[in-house]
Structure 1
Amino acid sequence: MIDFLTAGLVLGCSAGFSPGPLLMLVISETLTHGTRSGVRVALSPIITDFPIIAATLLLLMNLSGYHGILGGLSLAGGLFVLYTGYHSLTARPVQLDLPKEPPKSLRKGVLTNLLSPHPYLFWITVGAPLLTRSLKVGPAAFVAFIGSFYLCLVGAKIVLALAVGRSRAFMGSRAYLWIMRLLGALLTFFALLLFREGLKLLGVG
């Protein structure tokens, strides 16, 4: 059984540090309008993700007896995590492109996250299946996963906003690249666990 706290920490840190539309918005808002604006963008997943979580969790709970479908989702989740891990392992210094716009940071963060496919793909293939399993273990496992995931997701983006607010060179530094490589290695291992879980559900492993 995958440790839910560890899974939340690894997946949350990866989502928090990985380059993407929301991270670029955190950086651009920080450099254009200040650290507080970057932090507001970092908080936007707390607003946007929970309807997605509720919908995917409800769907998967209704499919709890269909092991073939759940196994297929676990394999798809493994591929998604492996793809994310590959991009973390091959990360390059981030190039900053700063649009000059009025500071409506939280609104922009919410819209960016809602329009990005990443949260939907993550919760359908990885997050919701893990939450479904955690509910079978108990409330503590559920809270451990979702709490550690959002603590790391939002916390990582806030840390980056603070770091970029002090020095815009941080996103091109060796420290950032080593963080990404470590996360890439952890994600690759986690993808293998998801593959194993999917094969078990399909009756192969």
Structure 2
Amino acid sequence: MDGLLAGLALGAAAGVGPGPLLVLVVTVTLRSGVRAGLLTAGVPVLSDALVVVLALTLLRQVPERPLAVLGLVGAVLVVAIGVRTVLDARAATLAAGELVREPAWVTLRRAFLVNIVSPHPWVSWLTVLGPLAISYGRDSLSVGAIFVVAFYVGIVGAKAVLALLVGMGRRRMRDAGYRRALVVAGALLVGAGVAMGVEFGPVALGL
């Protein structure tokens, strides 16, 4: 029960915490609808599989600079997506319920790239989640597995609820409000990317 509650609590907190993927969930839901937002919300289950395996295997053995390089690459990607969102907002419209439809694989690929190159999952699993999972696993492997599963139920569930709320609010928007929302979301993505660059750039570049 401790592993279950801890996983759910940490997952829910991570799901609503600020970060590139959270802003991307909002942006994608505004542009392409709830279905795309829900797909984006579920991406951590796919992208973090490698993170979890490596973190639990190589816990505390990963040097600081490789993580920083990964963070800098992620920063560039996030800024690029944010700038594109702001540029697209100029001609965006909600007329006749119009949505920017795209194949599911495109939505998943974009969110996967944003999350896999973000240092936050790596840092979280190497410093907090990994040690907790190993601690629970010492008592029972099933308890450790329950902790991991509960964490992802929490994080995906929180982001999915956000996508649903944004989707419901979207129906009440006019074109001007929709464009402003897209600009804000794009600006937040740019801000998140810049913050990542400031945080990890000096180490990645050896400054």
TM bucket by the smaller chain?
Answer: 0.5 to 0.7
Question: Whole-Å Cα distance in 2 between the matches of residues 59 and 135 of structure 1?
Answer: 16
Corresponding position of 1:6:
5
Specify whether residues 54 and 133 from structure 1 end up closer, same or farther in structure 2 by C-alpha distance, changes over 3 A only.
same
Question: Whole-Å Cα distance in 1 between the matches of residues 158 and 85 of structure 2?
Answer: 21
The 3-state SS of whatever aligns with 2:5 is helix
Question: Whole-Å Cα distance in 2 between the matches of residues 124 and 4 of structure 1?
Answer: 18
Match of 2:133 among 115, 131, 134: 131
What are the residue-to-residue correspondences of 1:42-191 with 2, within 5 Å?
Answer: 42-60=41-59, 98-99=85-86, 100=88, 103=102, 104-167=106-169
Please say if residues 27 and 164 of structure 1, whose CA atoms lie closer than 8 Å, have aligned partners that are also in contact. yes
Give the letter aligned to residue 131 of structure 1: A
Structure 1, unaligned stretches of length 5 or more?
64-68, 70-96, 170-205
Cα displacement (A) at 1:22: 0.3
Question: Whole-Å Cα distance in 2 between the matches of residues 113 and 150 of structure 1?
Answer: 14
Please say if residues 137 and 145 of structure 2, whose CA atoms lie closer than 8 Å, have aligned partners that are also in contact. no
Corresponding position of 1:18:
17
Question: Whole-Å Cα distance in 2 between the matches of residues 98 and 3 of structure 1?
Answer: 41
Please say if residues 39 and 158 of structure 1, whose CA atoms lie closer than 8 Å, have aligned partners that are also in contact. yes
Question: Whole-Å Cα distance in 1 between the matches of residues 15 and 2 of structure 2?
Answer: 20
Question: Whole-Å Cα distance in 1 between the matches of residues 8 and 43 of structure 2?
Answer: 19
Cα displacement (A) at 1:46: 0.9
Aligned Cα RMSD in Å?
Answer: 2.4
Question: Whole-Å Cα distance in 2 between the matches of residues 150 and 162 of structure 1?
Answer: 18
The 3-state SS of whatever aligns with 1:167 is helix
In the superposition, the TM-score normalised over structure 1's length comes to 0.60
Please say if residues 28 and 37 of structure 2, whose CA atoms lie closer than 8 Å, have aligned partners that are also in contact. yes
Give the letter aligned to residue 27 of structure 2: S
Question: Whole-Å Cα distance in 1 between the matches of residues 54 and 18 of structure 2?
Answer: 26
Cα displacement (A) at 1:3: 2.5
Please say if residues 56 and 128 of structure 1, whose CA atoms lie closer than 8 Å, have aligned partners that are also in contact. yes
Cα displacement (A) at 1:14: 0.8
Cα displacement (A) at 1:4: 1.6
Question: Whole-Å Cα distance in 2 between the matches of residues 15 and 105 of structure 1?
Answer: 21
Cα displacement (A) at 1:118: 0.7
Question: Whole-Å Cα distance in 1 between the matches of residues 168 and 125 of structure 2?
Answer: 33
Corresponding position of 1:92:
none
Cα displacement (A) at 1:42: 0.8
The 3-state SS of whatever aligns with 1:19 is coil
Cα displacement (A) at 1:98: 4.7
Cα displacement (A) at 1:139: 2.5
Please say if residues 16 and 157 of structure 1, whose CA atoms lie closer than 8 Å, have aligned partners that are also in contact. yes
Please say if residues 32 and 98 of structure 1, whose CA atoms lie closer than 8 Å, have aligned partners that are also in contact. no
Cα displacement (A) at 1:102: 6.9
